[in-house]
Structures are given as structure tokens and as C-alpha cells.
């Protein structure tokens, strides 16, 4: 009897790193629920592409920083595919403008914490009972380079605090759920910029990136390949890991003359 296909819910997956992850998992036999906030046209086009690969795929609009939307997203994913075996928490709001903590509005602090920490925890809480029922599950969180070291990141205080909190949560949840066949890991992308988030390694390997110790720019494929490996059936001994996929780049620049040179954004910097 043929084994049923695994089902993956990927937040913020209409564009960028989430899109590349959705495509690679679909190629490897997963059915997919695409989540988007504003990018409806991109989400629907991606769904059609994935369906052309022979996978089931549905797009669901939801803002993961809103509790009611999170509940609805999981309910619709289960209604469409019947189960959720993989949850990839790719989406997360990010304010690219550099600001001191005192310059943030209270609503911005709340939104960043909801989108990057509380919302992720809530989504995990919703899907874990389903995974435990089947004694199998894969949960992926997103951080930023060197997040496991809990260093200060000037001008990114709220985002960094949320992601560093998520590091501890990742490690704790991994231990708690290991006996249920569920692995929990965090991916920490390097400074993968713009169109490179949707490119293959072959498209950039001839290009020079002077900021990258590896020497080339990072791509969406770099991230998607690691996630796909963590989602494999036999990857059950890898859990509680914080994995930098950065080409060796440290995104937190040194302070020079009192000025912080810190611009590298995490791969989950935009909710699509």
C-alpha cells in the first residue's frame, strides 16, 4: 500500500525563502499549504505551479501576528489536507529601518513580538496534538545569524529579543516532544537579499560577494535544502539545533566610531 503524502504548512510562503522551500518540498513529495498576507496573486500562481508538479496545494490568507488568523490558518490547512506533518514558521515581521529601542511605537513592539515569537508558539501549540497523534512531525523556526549566542543587536532590539527567545523555546520544545516523534529546529539564514531569495545556487555561484566569507551570495536554495533535509523521514535524530546557513557571515557588525554598521536581515524578514 502506498504511503500517504506528508503535508506541510509554510507561513509567509508566497515569495522569498518560503516560496523556495515550498517548491523543493513539493518536488520531494509533500503536499503544501501556502500562507500569505498580501501577496494573493503570487500565492495563487505558486499553487498552480506546485499542482503542476503533482502535489496538492492550497493558498490561505492569514496574518500570523493575529490570534484569530492563526486559528483559522491551521483549521483551513487541516480542512484542505486532513493533517499537518510539517510546520515551517518562515513568516515574521521585520522593520528594516534602523531605530533605537526608545524610538519604537508600542504597537510596533507588540506586532514584532506577536509575529516573531508569540505567533510561532501559538501555531506550534495548535499543530503539536496532530503530530503527536501520528507520532511524527517536523517543526522549523527561523532566527538570525548567531541568534543562539544571544548577543545584543543594536537598532534591532525587539526583533532580536523575539528571535533569541525563540531559540530557548526551540530547544525546550525539542526535548519535550522528542518522544512523540516530533523534531524542532531553527534555521538562521545569512544576509540573503532581494531576488536572491528565490534563486538557485547555480544562478549565483559565479558571482562575487565581498561581504560573504564564502565569496558568493546566498540563495533561497541554500535555505530550502537544509529545511528539506530536516524534514526527511530519517532525520529524527536531529532536534533542538540552531543552524546557521550564512556562508560564514556574522550579521551583527562591530561598532565603529560610535556608529553601528548593522544591516543584515534575517531570511524571514518579511511576511508575504
Indicate whether 95 pLDDT > 60. Answer: yes
pLDDT value of position 40: 95
Q: What is the rounded average pLDDT of the residues 82-96?
A: 94
Cβ neighbours of residue 219 under 8 Å, at least 6 residues apart?
20, 192, 196, 197, 199, 200, 201, 203, 204
Q: What is the rounded average pLDDT of the residues 198-220?
A: 88
pLDDT in tens, 135-176: 999 999 999 988 988 888 889 999 999 999 999 999 999 999
pTM above 0.75, yes or no: yes
For the chain, which residues make up each domain, given as ranges?
Answer: 7-247
pLDDT in tens, 240-270: 999 999 888 886 653 333 444 444 444 444 4
pLDDT value of position 253: 56
Q: What is the rounded average pLDDT of the residues 76-89?
A: 97
CB 226 within 8 A of CB 236: no
Angle at 37 between CA 187 and CA 227, to 5 degrees: 20
101: phi then psi, degrees, rounded to nearest 5: -55, -40
CATH class entry, domain 7-247: alpha beta
CB 235 within 8 A of CB 27: no
Cβ neighbours of residue 6 under 8 Å, at least 6 residues apart?
29, 30, 31, 85, 86, 231
Q: How does residue 272 score in pLDDT terms, banded at 50, 70 and 90? A: low
Neighbours of 195 (CB within 10 A): 13
pLDDT value of position 96: 86
Indicate whether 74 pLDDT > 90. Answer: yes
Residue among 197, 170, 241 at smallest CA distance from 12: 197
H-only helix segments in 53-156:
67-81, 106-113, 119-134
Q: What is the rounded average pLDDT of the residues 197-220?
A: 89
Q: What is the rounded average pLDDT of the residues 60-74?
A: 96
Amino acid at each position: 500500500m502506498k504511503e500517504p503524502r506528508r503535508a506541510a504548512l509554510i507561513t509567509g510562503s508566497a515569495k522569498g525563502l518560503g516560496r523556495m522551500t515550498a517548491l523543493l518540498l513539493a518536488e520531494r513529495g509533500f503536499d503544501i499549504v501556502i500562507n500569505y498576507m498580501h501577496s494573493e496573486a503570487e500565492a495563487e500562481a505558486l499553487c498552480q505551479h506546485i499542482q503542476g508538479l503533482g502535489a496538492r496545494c492550497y493558498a490561505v490568507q492569514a496574518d500570523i501576528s493575529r490570534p484569530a488568523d492563526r486559528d483559522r490558518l491551521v483549521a483551513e490547512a487541516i480542512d484542505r489536507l486532513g493533517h499537518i506533518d510539517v510546520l515551517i514558521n518562515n513568516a515574521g515581521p521585520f522593520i528594516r529601518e534602523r531605530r533605537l529601542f526608545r524610538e519604537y511605537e508600542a504597537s510596533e513592539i507588540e506586532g514584532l513580538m506577536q509575529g516573531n515569537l508569540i505567533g510561532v508558539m501559538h501555531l506550534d501549540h495548535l499543530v503539536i496534538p496532530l503530530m503527536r497523534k501520528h507520532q511524527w512531525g517536523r517543526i522549523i523556526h527561523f532566527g538570525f545569524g548567531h541568534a543562539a549566542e544571544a548577543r545584543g543587536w543594536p537598532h534591532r532590539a525587539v526583533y532580536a529579543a523575539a528571535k533569541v527567545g525563540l531559540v530557548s523555546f526551540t530547544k525546550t520544545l525539542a526535548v519535550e516532544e522528542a518522544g512523540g516523534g516530533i523534531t524542532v529546529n531553527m534555521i538562521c539564514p545569512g544576509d540573503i537579499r532581494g531576488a536572491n531569495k528565490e534563486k538557485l545556487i547555480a544562478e549565483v555561484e559565479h558571482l562575487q560577494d565581498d561581504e560573504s566569507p564564502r565569496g558568493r551570495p546566498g540563495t533561497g536554495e541554500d535555505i530550502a535544502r537544509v529545511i528539506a533535509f530536516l524534514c526527511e523521514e530519517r532525520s529524527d535524530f536531529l532536534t533542538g539545533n540552531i543552524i546557521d546557513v550564512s556562508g560564514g557571515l556574522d550579521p551583527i557588525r562591530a561598532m565603529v566610531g560610535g556608529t553601528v554598521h548593522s544591516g543584515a536581515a534575517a531570511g524571514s524578514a518579511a511576511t508575504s
